[in-house]
């Protein structure tokens, strides 16, 4: 299994051999759905918060006497059936949504998604991405050049969630240059995950000889 390597001007510079264990995995929708669901749950940020009847203010005094008024008996205006009372089963910001994800399942889900992306022609390998200083104009020119490669035309036209650029190492100039593009995300390749890949149409991998070694090392560790 081979793939073409391009430079940042969109010219083919060579080939790279890809591992079948990483880019030849059959699609498993159930596994991917489960891993993505758990990851989204773990990243959930609890904001909405309601008070129970024990937390709302006031209501310490009995509204009226127990009998003789002809009205239903009540002990406190903090009851959930009163306006301004506590909320029953409402959202709480102290609720724990963390879920355990099996490491092997997460790795296989990542390989499954990479395999599907590669099969559909949505992964591009470039030998390097070098910028001497942060310049958004130069970053835009790079995307325009890469969009001239057949199958990657949307790199220059799609406005949202177009691509995630996975760098072999942290590069400040590149990160700042693409930082103002809402359709492009910058990430170190070692930090890519199933959710980040699925949220973008294309995956651009820089220096694939170094970057992909991280994935093949996972396969080697798994088989030992």
Integer angstrom CA distances of residue 54 from 51, 77, 215: 8, 11, 52
Pick the CATH number of 2-41+102-223 from 3.90.1580.10, 3.40.1370.10, 3.40.50.1370, 3.10.105.10: 3.40.1370.10
Q: Is the distance from CB of 2 to CB of 20 less than 8 angstroms?
A: no
Please state, in angstroms and rounded to a whole number, the distance separating the CA atoms of residues 202 and 224: 32
Q: Would you state the pLDDT for residue 180?
A: 84
Please state, in angstroms and rounded to a whole number, the distance separating the CA atoms of residues 1 and 95: 47
Q: Is the distance from CB of 136 to CB of 127 less than 8 angstroms?
A: no
Degrees (nearest 5) of the Cα angle 72, 77, 83?
Answer: 95
* Residue ranges of the chain with per-residue pLDDT less than 50: none
Which is nearest to 11 in space by CA: 175, 112, 127, 155? 127
Q: What is the tens place of the pLDDT at every residue in 68-114?
A: 999 999 999 999 999 999 999 999 998 888 899 999 999 999 999 99
User: Residue ranges per domain, the chain?
Assistant: 2-41+102-223, 45-96
Q: State how beta strands 123-126 and 2-6 pair.
A: parallel
Q: Would you state the pLDDT for residue 223?
A: 52
Q: Is the distance from CB of 162 to CB of 184 less than 8 angstroms?
A: yes
**pTM tops 0.85:** no
Q: Would you state the pLDDT for residue 222?
A: 57
Q: Is the distance from CB of 5 to CB of 15 less than 8 angstroms?
A: yes
Q: Is the distance from CB of 215 to CB of 177 less than 8 angstroms?
A: no
- CB neighbours of residue 92 within 10 Å: 14
Q: Would you state the pLDDT for residue 214?
A: 81
């Amino acid at each position: 299994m081979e793939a073409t390597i391009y430079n940042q001007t969109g010219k083919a510079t060579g080939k790279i051999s890809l591992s079948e264990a990483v880019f030849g995995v059959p699609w498993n929708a159930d596994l991917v759905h489960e891993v993505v669901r758990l990851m989204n749950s773990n990243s959930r940020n609890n904001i909405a918060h309601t008070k129970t009847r024990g937390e709302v203010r006031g209501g310490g005094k009995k509204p009226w006497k127990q009998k003789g008024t002809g009205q239903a008996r009540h002990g406190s205006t903090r009851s959930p059936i009163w306006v301004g009372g506590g909320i029953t089963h409402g959202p709480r910001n102290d609720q724990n949504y963390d879920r355990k994800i099996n490491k092997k399942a997460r790795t296989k889900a990542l390989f499954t998604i990479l395999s599907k992306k590669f099969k559909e022609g949505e992964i591009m390998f470039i030998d390097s991405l070098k910028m001497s200083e942060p310049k958004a104009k130069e970053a835009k020119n790079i995307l325009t050049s890469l969009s001239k490669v057949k199958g990657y035309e949307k790199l220059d036209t799609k406005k949202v969630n177009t691509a995630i650029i996975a760098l072999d190492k942290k590069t400040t100039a590149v990160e700042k240059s693409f930082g103002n593009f809402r359709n492009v995300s910058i990430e170190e390749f070692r930090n890519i995950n199933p959710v980040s890949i699925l949220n973008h149409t294309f995956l651009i991998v820089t220096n694939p000889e170094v970057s992909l070694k991280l994935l093949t090392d996972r396969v080697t560790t798994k088989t030992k």
